[in-house]
Amino acid sequence: MPVISTRSLTYLYSKGTPFEVAAIKDINIDIDSGELVGIIGHTGSGKSTLIQHLNGILKPEQGTVLLEGKDIWESKASIREARFKVGLCFQYPEYQLFEETVYKDIAFGPKNMKLDEDEIDRRVHRAAEFVGLKEEHLQKSPFDLSGGEKRRAAIAGVMAMEPKVLILDEPTAGLDPHGRDRILRLIKEYRSNTGSTVLFVSHSMEDIADLVSKVLVLENSRVAMFGTVEEVYSKREELLKMGLNVPQVTRIFAGLRERGLHINTNIFTVEQGRQELLRFFGKGADL
Amino acid sequence: MIKDITIGQFFPGDSILHRLDARMKLVLTFAVIVIVFVCKSFFSMGLMVAFVLFLVAVSRVPVKTILKSLKPIVFIVIFTAVLNIFYTTGGWSVQIWIFKITEKGLFTALFMAVRIICLIIVSSLLTYTTTPTRLTDALERLLSPLKIFKIEVHTIAMMMTLALRFIPTLIEEIDRIMSAQKARGADWESGSLVSRSKALIPVLIPLFVSSFRRAYELAFAMECRCYRGGKGRTRMKIMKLELRDFAALLAAAALLAGIILLNIFFKSVI
Amino acid sequence: MDENIISFKNVSFTYESEEKTHIPAVKDITLNIRKGEFVAVLGHNGSGKSTLAKLTNAILIPEKGTVLINGLDTSDENLVYDIRRTVGMVFQNPDNQIVATIVEDDVAFGPENLGVPPAEIRRKVDEALKEVEMYEYRLREPHKLSGGQKQRVAIAGILAMETACMVLDEPTAMLDPRGRVEVMKTVMRLNKEKGITVLYITHFMDEAVEADRVLVMDNGDIILDGSPRQVFSQVELIKSVGLDVPQASELCYLLRKDGVDLPIDVLNVEECIEALMKVAKG
């Protein structure tokens, strides 16, 4: 059974006014437990709206959201449960920090879950460790941290709820390459350590290729594609029509194939590219 | 969607009221409101009501919208009317159960009700036909003579403009912060008044912090564009009085004259 | 008259941090930027690139050394006004630089501050909005615009002031890919067509690649200064300071290390394909 699914999920903005527009329309997806899914699409394609339905922040106009088979809107209790079982981290999460100390801020979620002190303490420390924050950071005011540290503290705040499904909305937005790499590594490690399902929204086809098992492409409020990286990225023409592009390496190999080289074009990362070319040039790579 | 919020009640249109100079409108609105209280007889009040209806027609703002602006004050009107019925005495009277209703009381109540309604309609017409930006501009220019009393008119106007500019942005931000805290289990709907007020802290603190940072950055950006306060500043949009503005002034003067005449020649009712 | 519009002579600047430990943000920088150049400054967060930008228009004054803008010394308080008429700045946060309730009023803000006559302001505002392709949005409220549109309005605001030079401090950091392309295209066109000198701070190498000249900063020093081709061929160095190179450059770099004979200055997909085809054909 998939850990989270949607059935005919639809949401309208400005309902009943002349400005009514479908933010998402008839979305049907199934996410299996333990998957790492990348969500891609233009601004306005419905990404943010979709993920805000998964933890019950937004209520569907039509359709259902199922968490472990149950409709999250069944009762007040089930919504509350969804809130904590599906952890949503918004864009620029550092702007939500407010407590006196980083420790207290990370503890905010677990506290709202009404856990006892020891359990909260354990979770805060575990989350802090995941994001690479040390004891001295925990005692500081969140406003005294650097930009990158603030972001990691905010992510820790969501991780501390130990959700079954962790969703991150553009976790690398506004970060420089070093910061971005750090966050992506963090996501990878978190998932392999906890076995949680992770969804993350990104604008970068390159970032996603290296990391995820499945890719969900949204276009014009609907699901355009949902499959493995190979399945999605090989549809170059379609992606281009949507104004999305495949990674540079993929384009390079497509170009080589067009020029007549009998070369594998299922290449999505630089490392894959290198291996394939070494094989092709007969240099016998260390596979 | 939050993004669709428009500040004030501006109703886009191209009527003559929309096109009047904002300063004239501001001054005349004030004048008409005063004139409303000058009416003492049925006929002068009748002229006033006719004038107001004329303005509504000319503005081309739908009647439904005007009625919407009256909704919030229905209670006040009724309350004031009732108060006046029982506390103003004079002329013939009628006894209903323990209440004594007098002629003067009835008329005063009626006049009060009509006055309040006229007042609200006239001020609503101002905001329906003038954008908040133009209003702030008009206010700045009208108050600029106060500079001689060392009042920083420009600075006050600049603050008002910045407030108008950022209200929608701040509303969006509050929405974002609330969603983020909700996602961590914040709850403003259940619990005692105390706990719900405490639950505002995770929203207010990030809001204040980001607002201070915003103000800091904004100040820099303004200085980088050579902002030095009101000294030596020109304006792209010049406010010029046209023929129609003088016509409006004349109309208001005629209204006042008419009302005074009607007050003199017809019995004062209240 | 010097053809250098921006001149840094041995400039140092340190921020005072809370713990009173002085971390130099910019160390002994000497730099000359000629009129009409498009210079990109690359660096990771904390490399000093934003500080560099703020030193060009007297937001920050050098601790040591001098910054001259068209010959004017930024440390002279009396010249700040004139300096800011020469160097206009676009900031990272699109919202926190727009002051008016409608687009055209915001673009007019700069000229109004300069005391330009009303009719002329109107002309300049309309021209500027047309240059950034936002003329149809002139009566719109800013909060209804996308990030890319807001930044173009900010750029129009600087254009209307007719500054000779435009400094953009990470203007696309908070934008989506579409917005980034909008801004980059606009700035490049203004540089080519109107000869405005551009100093463009960024950490995106796909933007730096389009400049005439690229400076790479690390720890307050300029460690590389040259054409995009020259700079991006230094793959090791760039990666060691926490920056990216285009995937095409990186692929060729790795293959060269494996012994494949490829040029060192491959910058994009086309060049990479060409180079690889040459090798394949033997």
Q: Which of A145, A162, A179 is the last residue in one of the domains?
A: A162
Tell me what pLDDT residue A17 has: 66
Q: Which structural domain, as residue segments, surrounds residue A147?
A: 97-162
Chain C positions touching A177 (Cβ under 8 A) are 44, 203, 242-244
Compute the nearest-CA separation of A205 from chain C (Å).
Answer: 11
Residue B186 domain flag: yes
Q: Are residues A131 and A144 in the same domain?
A: yes
Q: Over range B148-174, report the average pLDDT.
A: 90
Partner B contacted by A106 (CB < 8 A) = no
Across the interface, do A98 and B185 touch by the CB < 8 Å criterion? no
Tally of domains in chain C: 1
Residue A287 lies in a domain: no
Q: Judge whether C256 lies within some domain.
A: no
For position C51, what pLDDT does the model report?
93
Is residue A81 domain-shared with residue A172, that is, in the same domain?
yes
A169-193 as b/e: b if 16+ CB within 10 A: bbbbbbbbbbbbebbbebbeebbee
A48 and A167 co-located in one domain: yes
Domain span at B199: 143-224
pLDDT of residue C262 exceeding 50: yes
A53 and A12 within one domain: yes
Arithmetic mean of pLDDT, A1-30: 84
| Domain CATH for C48 | 3.40.50.300
A132: left (phi over 0), alpha (psi -120 to 50) or beta: left
Q: What is the pTM of this model?
A: 0.89
Q: What is the pLDDT of residue C195?
A: 95
pLDDT over 70 at A111, yes or no: yes
For residue C17, pLDDT over 90 is answered with no
Average pLDDT on A243-272 reads 90
Distance CA C204, CA C209 (A): 9
B61 within some domain: yes
In a mutational test of the A interface, the residue from C92, C262, C269, C278 whose CB has the highest number of chain A CBs within 10 Å is C269
Say yes or no to pLDDT of A268 above 80. yes
C181 in reach of chain B (CB within 8 A) = no
Q: Are B107 and B269 in contact (CB under 8 A)?
A: yes
Pick from A268, A222, A216, A265: nearest CA to A246: A268
Mean residue pLDDT across chain A: 91
Asked if the Cβ–Cβ distance from C144 to B3 is below 8 Å, we say: yes
B-contacting residues in C 117-136 (Cβ below 8 Å): 117-118, 121-122, 125
* A209/chain B closest Cα distance in angstroms: 28
Residues paired with residue A229 on neighbouring β-strands, in sequence order: none
- A227 and A158 in one domain? no
In a domain, C260, yes or no: no
**Is residue C71 within 8 Å of residue C77, measured between CB atoms?**
no
Classify residue C261: in a domain, yes or no. Answer: no
Neighbouring residues of C77: CB distance < 8 A, sequence distance ≥ 6: none
Least confident of A160-164, A206-210, C93-97: A206-210
Query: Residue B148: in which H helix or E strand, if any?
Result: none
Q: Are residues A213 and A227 in the same domain?
A: yes
DSSP string, C11-36: EEEEEEPTTS-EEEEEEEEEEEEETT
Q: How confident is the model at residue B8 (pLDDT cuts 50, 70, 90)?
A: low
B160 with B47, same domain: the answer is no
Assigned domain for B198 exists: yes
- Which pLDDT score, from 0 to 100, does residue C18 have? 56
Specify whether B115 is located in the same domain as B62.
Answer: yes
C82 against B95, higher pLDDT: C82
Q: Is the pLDDT of residue A285 over 80?
A: no
> Domain count of chain A?
3
* Least-confidence region, from A30-44, A109-123, C13-27, C120-134: C13-27
Q: What would the mean pLDDT of B65-85 be, rounded to a whole number?
A: 85
Q: Looking at residue B121, what is its pLDDT?
A: 92
Min mean pLDDT across A85-94, A98-107, B100-109 is at B100-109
Instruction: Write down the pLDDT at residue B18.
Output: 92
With an 8 Å Cβ cutoff, the interface of chain B facing chain A consists of 1, 4, 176-177, 179-187, 201-202, 205-206, 209-210
- Interval C23-54: pLDDT, tens: 778 999 999 999 999 999 999 888 899 999 99
Residue of C nearest to B219 (CA): C97
pLDDT band at residue B192 using 50, 70 and 90 as cut-offs: confident
What is the mean pLDDT of the segment spanning A141-163?
A: 94
Which tops the pLDDT comparison, B103 or A189?
A189
Question: Percentage of chain A surpassing pLDDT 70?
Answer: 96
Alpha-carbon distances of C112 from B24, B35, B228, C119, rounded to whole Å: 24, 39, 11, 11
- pLDDT at position B1, please? 38
The answer on B203 and B102 residing in a single domain is no
| B97 pLDDT above the threshold of 80 | no
The reported pLDDT for the residue numbered A19 is: 64
Q: Which domain holds residue C187?
A: 4-245
CATH at A76: 3.40.50.300
When pLDDT is averaged across residues B212-222 and rounded to a whole number, the result is: 95
Residue B156 domain-assigned? yes
C246 touches chain A (CB under 8 A): yes
pLDDT the model gives residue B190:
79
Cβ pair A55:B206 closer than 8 A:
no
Distance CA C271, CA C265 (A): 9
Token pair for A162:
């130990």
pLDDT at A60 over 60: yes
CA distances from C185 to A171, A246, C88, C128, C205 (A): 26, 21, 18, 15, 15
Q: Are residues A235 and A258 in the same domain?
A: no
Q: Looking at the partner chain, which of C84, C96, C116 has a beta carbon nearest the beta carbon of B234?
A: C116
How many helices and strands (H and E) does chain A possess? Answer: 12, 10
Q: Which residue has the tokens 């309609």?
A: B121
Residue C22 has pLDDT above 90, yes or no: no
Q: How many domains does chain B have?
A: 2
Q: Are residues A109 and B206, on separate chains, in Cβ contact within 8 Å?
A: no
Which chains have 3+ CB pairs within 8 A of A? B, C
pLDDT reported for residue A144: 92
Q: Tokens 């323990």, residue?
A: B98
What is the reported pLDDT for B68?
82
Predicted confidence (pLDDT) at residue B21 exceeds the cutoff of 50: yes
Residue B88 resides in a domain? yes
Distance (Å, whole) CA B62 – CA B134:
22
Spatial CB neighbours of C127, under 8 Å, sequence gap ≥ 6: C159, C160
Does residue C267 surpass a pLDDT of 60?
Answer: yes
Q: Is C278 among the domain residues?
A: no
Evaluate whether A12 touches A80 at the Cβ level (below 8 Å).
no
Q: Do C273 and A243 touch (CB under 8 A)?
A: no
**pLDDT by residue (tens digit) across A167-202?**
999 999 989 898 999 999 999 999 999 999 999 999
